Amino acid sequence: MDNESPQTPLLSIRNLSKSFGPIKAVNNVSLDIMVGEVVGLVGDNAAGKSTFLSLLTGYHRKDTGEFIYRGKPVSVSSPRESRNRLKIEMVYQNLSLAPDLPVWQNMFLGEERRRFGVFNDRKAMVSDADKVLQELNAKARATDIVGTLSGGEQQLVAIGRALLFERDLIIMDEPTAAISVAKIEDVLRLIVQLKSRGKSVILVSHRLEDVLTVADRIVVFSHGTVKSILPNRHLNISDLIQVMFDRKKEATDNAEN
Ligand SMILES: Nc1ncnc2c1ncn2[C@@H]1O[C@H](COP(=O)(O)OP(=O)(O)OP(=O)(O)O)[C@@H](O)[C@H]1O
């Protein structure tokens, strides 16, 4: 598939756990994310997907476990450390953009550029934001107000941050949940484009057909654990549903016995 030999883990997650009181939301999860890999994350409600992501992005602190980034153990105890040390950019379903601000300000929000000792070097930021927008084939310009853009263009702004700050791993949480069918293809194409630039992507989605379209591997979460890691070869939706829900079926079977 590529010339890199053997596959290099970008991020290794080892024995990650997080409880909320008696609930083991994430229970001893280990997973390698490879360079340039798209990993689909699926699972029933309350399987632990959001909690797992919140540990990666530094919004919650792990109880136990280890992050190894490009071979080196790294500690992450805040969103800033996740961005700077694990090079993670999280794109939320609601995109977390400020609609009244221009694109460039949204892209640099909280990470304004200082150049030659000058705070908020507006000219440089507008120009850098425009470059990224062009790379993503966006119609929007850096000075456009975000609230006036279509949902698809807003998504490009959110993802533009990842390119601007050279993040390695982009986490997309339900990116196709709230957009039109026509735009879904754009988002999936964008994920493939990110992969072709060597970025790794974690795609969390309840739309299994989207995950099957772009993921290299699909990680099935259940009850806070990794239930299965499936290479996405010859997989179809019914295979995936079976893996996702058979424990539930067993539980029902057991309950009936
Ligand atoms: N802040 C919290 N306080 C207490 N319990 C929590 C908290 N966050 C999550 N949980 C619990 O942890 C478990 C895993 O929840 P999580 O939201 O991570 O699952 P999920 O797979 O993202 O589900 P969904 O697909 O419904 O969003 C659930 O039982 C949930 O109730």
Per-residue pLDDT at 251:
45
Per-residue pLDDT at 246:
76
206 CA → ligand 1 middle, Å: 15
Per-residue pLDDT at 36:
94
State mean pLDDT over 91-112: 84
Q: Could you please report the per-residue DSSP string of 142-177? A: TTSBGGGS-HHHHHHHHHHHHHHTT-SEEEEESTTS
Residue 113 maps to a domain: yes
Pocket of ligand 1 contains residue 68 by CB under 6 Å: no
Categorize the per-residue pLDDT at 3 as very low, low, confident or very high, splitting at 50, 70 and 90.
very low
Nearest partner of 203 among 177, 167, 240, judged by Cα = 177
pLDDT digits (tens, 9 = 90+) for 133-163: 998 888 999 999 999 998 888 888 888 888 8
Task: Look up the CATH number of the domain holding residue 257.
Answer: 3.40.50.300
Chosen domain end from 107, 132, 166:
166
Residue 92 maps to a domain: no
pLDDT digits (tens, 9 = 90+) for 109-132: 876 665 555 556 788 889 999 999
Pocket of ligand 1 contains residue 23 by CB under 6 Å: yes
Chosen domain end from 166, 197, 216:
166
Q: Could you please report the per-residue DSSP string of 77-135? A: -SHHHHHHHS-EEEE-TTTT--TTSBHHHHHHTT----BTTBSS-HHHHHHHHHHHHHH
Out of 19, 20, 24, mutate this one to test ligand 1's pocket (max ligand atoms within 8 Å of CB): namely 20
76 sits in which H/E element: none
Residue 25 maps to a domain: yes
**Reported pTM:** 0.86
Helix (H, G, I), strand (E, B) or coil at 217: strand
Domain limits at 137?
97-166
Pocket of ligand 1 contains residue 58 by CB under 6 Å: no
Query: Is 1 a residue whose pLDDT tops 90?
Result: no
Per-residue pLDDT at 184:
84
Chosen domain end from 166, 186, 216:
166
How far is the C-alpha of 243 from the C-alpha of 250, rounded, in Å?
12
pLDDT digits (tens, 9 = 90+) for 170-179: 999 888 776 7
In the chain, the amino acid numbered 138 is A
How far is the C-alpha of 153 from the C-alpha of 136, rounded, in Å?
10
